[in-house]
Amino acid sequence: METDELGLFSDRHAERGRRQPARRRRKPRRGAGRKITMVVVTLVVLGLIGAGVWYGLTQVLGIDLDGYDDYAGPGEQDVVVEIPTGASTGVIAGRLVDAGVVASNKAFVKAAEGNQKVLGIQPGYYVMKTKTSAKDAITQILDPESRRGRLEIRGGWQLDDITKGDGKVEPGIVQRLADASCAELNGKSTCVPVEELRETAKTADLAALGVPEWAVPVAAALEPQRRLEGLIVPGVYDVRPGSTAQELWQKVISESATQMQAIGLPKVAEQTGFTPYQVLTMASLIEREAIEKDFGKVSRVTYNRLVNDMPLQYDSTVNYVLDRPDIRTKAEDRERAGPYNTYATRGLPPGPISAPSAKAIEAATKPEAGNWLYFVRCQKDGTSCFAENARQHEQNVEQAQANGAY
């Protein structure tokens, strides 16, 4: 061993003996970088999902991240707001915020707390004021006069107005649609004239209006003013004030087509021996000839008379072209030639004569079993008496006259 000048071991050599072997640096494992990247991506995706869920909750529950911003006063300009079916208070608030009616979701939700009437707000269109306080917005939307565009169609109604026996005029579907189009927006009326609706009904492309594919060819062959008859089933429709005549027809006809599809048309017609449009026509006759409890029997009479090549002899078809709702006809009216005169013409009329309900359509596809060939309204409540032969029918007519029902 080496020694220094004093004969001692050198510290340098001693230190050398104490040193540990140098560690070799590990190389990164293959795929480690990828794992880190995947972790980062996963965290980002989870963050986005969480943000989306939170945003959805803010819309449904009315949570507003912007705080309690609120406008002051009753508002400025008129604006139309649509409230969708099943809307919660938070969703309604969101619609009002988007339309510029209220300043924030939370202002509206807070103002609505404890007000049970808010929970009863119906879907549809409402005329509101922009930049209004949440409190005033609630007062506005709960006012029945704020709701616009509501159109109710009942079974048996037809496109044109009809004149009753007492001289009173019952508005038809066209007039009711014109009325539903009306609202006052910033001093201007949104009403679409009846004449404009009639012209559109006569000339517009039926497929573009939403008429079902199976109905287009037959409806197109009818007289222009009758093309849309029977294609608007009973129900409540909401049309937007400010819409054009074309848009109004598209709204009700497309929704009606969806309802007819839900009822089963055109498929349910396959088992009847009639086309879907003939079933619709038959249903419209049933709707006008009877009350609901007799739909199935009147349907059977219709089937039986058609099978036996007998004229239907339904007064409703004669009165249809005369725009009258009477259950009886005059001799001179029955003698008038025309495709809707089922006294003079065998078979079904060329198209529907009224708006057929789901019950009438069901009856037209599933008539009650029976051999009836005749019926007459024999009770004042609209109940009919049915007969298998002419003699029985004459007796029923006498009874109906005695009851003051015919």
Q: What is the pLDDT of residues 183-230, one digit of tens each?
A: 999 999 999 999 999 999 999 999 999 999 999 999 999 999 999 999
Q: What is the pLDDT of residue 28?
A: 47
Which has the minimum average pLDDT: 137-141, 305-309, 315-319? 315-319
More confident residue, 248 or 59: 248
CA gap 58, 90 in Å, rounded = 8
When the pLDDT of each residue in the chain is averaged and rounded to a whole number, the result is 87
Please give the biggest Cα pair distance in the chain.
153
Compute the distance between CA of residue 249 and CA of residue 177 in angstroms, rounded to an integer: 9
Cis peptide bond N-terminal to 266, omega within 30: yes
Helix axes 245-263, 194-203, angle to 10 degrees: 60
pLDDT the model gives residue 120? 95
Q: What is the pLDDT of residues 327-347, one digit of tens each?
A: 566 666 676 768 999 999 999
Look up residue 285 and give its two tokens.
Answer: 């006759």
Pair 232, 256: CB distance under 8 Å: yes
Q: Which residue has the higher pLDDT, 316 or 336?
A: 316
- pLDDT for 319: 87
Cβ contacts of 178 within 8 Å, gap of 6 or more? 191, 192, 193, 194, 197
Contact (CB, 8 A) for 346 and 311:
yes
pLDDT digits (tens, 9 = 90+) for 234-277: 999 999 999 999 999 999 999 999 999 999 999 999 999 999 99
Query: Radius of gyration over alpha carbons of the chain, in Å?
Result: 37
CA distance 213 to 207: 7
Q: What is the pLDDT of residues 337-385, one digit of tens each?
A: 689 999 999 999 999 999 999 999 999 999 999 999 999 999 999 999 9
Is the pTM here over 0.75, yes or no?
A: yes
The confidence score (pLDDT) of residue 35 equals 54
